[in-house]
Chain A
């Protein structure tokens, strides 16, 4: 099953807890999903830039231990999108559960 379409929502959810940078976002998604959702960085960064392009997140560059990091944070537009995505996910996953339960 292809979950790549859900990556933007997972990123927005991660950033709802505060600003974060790409590496930590990837690690936290992987850890929280117990290794099931392990997105390649070549997928993560285009998704981050896409969300920034749409104005859902904003970026800020900081230098930490000699490394230039780009921190992302949720914008008001992003918060509204996340709320809508959560609602949509509940609706769709509820429908999936109903169908899959019937098959078991």
Chain B
């Protein structure tokens, strides 16, 4: 609606800088082209209605609305630079055989540690064994998907590979905590929760982006 927010910017470049701050390069470029064309159309109409160039520019800028509010909306609709880099980094890791071997070793390490702890507390082992097995299966499938299936659904699947072990570790910590090992629960929960929330947010955001994220970067390509 008219009059929403205030607009203190002096030029279109400044408006774009604020509105597209933090967004990935591809999103910045797309928004810039659209807004520039829109701004030029708007100025043309104002000038045709006998406005001076300066007045037409002021009116067209006012029509763009509050740049900070627009930035918030754009960040919900597009990947930020940080998120785009993270997606590329995750794909690179998930598709690398060295990373797969490191992951298997880490799983092995956690397996021995947690299972010793659980045995000590005489806790049931069925739930953690099933969860660990699922993580190993997903991680292996993720490895092949990252290497061969570079579609939007492919990315989302690959993103699950780090989310699942973190989720598994979180549940494991809770499980161990329930059986009496509170120190481990409190030591691991904050870090795990932060990672889990960050990755899950990115996973859901990619789901919302759908057609805005059709072009997968080829393996080893820089962030979009």
Contact = CB atoms under 8 A, between A and B. Distances in A.
Interface of A: 2-4, 21-23, 26, 37-43, 45-47, 49-50, 52-55, 58, 61, 67-70
B64 interface: yes
Contacts of A58: 211
A68 B110 CA distance: 54
Interface residues of B, number: 33
Contact of A43 (B4, B38, B210): B4
Interface in B31-54: 31, 33-38, 40-42
B34 A70 contact: yes
B38 A46 contact: no
B212 A42 contact: no
Nearest to B207: A53
Contact of B211 (A38, A42, A43, A52): A52
A40 B78 contact: no
B69 A22 contact: no
Contacts of A41: 35, 38, 63-65, 70
Given A52-B211, A70-B37, 8 more contacts: A42-B19, A43-B70, A43-B73, A46-B77, A49-B212, A54-B208, A55-B210, A55-B211
Contacts of A38: 1-2
B37 A46 contact: no
A2 B36 CA distance: 28
B65 A43 contact: yes
A53 B210 CA distance: 5
Interface in B48-74: 63-67, 69-70, 73-74
Contacts of B38: 22-23, 26, 41, 45
12 contacts: A23-B38, A23-B42, A38-B1, A41-B64, A42-B66, A47-B73, A49-B78, A50-B208, A54-B210, A55-B211, A61-B33, A68-B36
Contacts of B10: none
B11 interface: no
B76 interface: yes
A26 B35 CA distance: 12
B208 A53 contact: yes
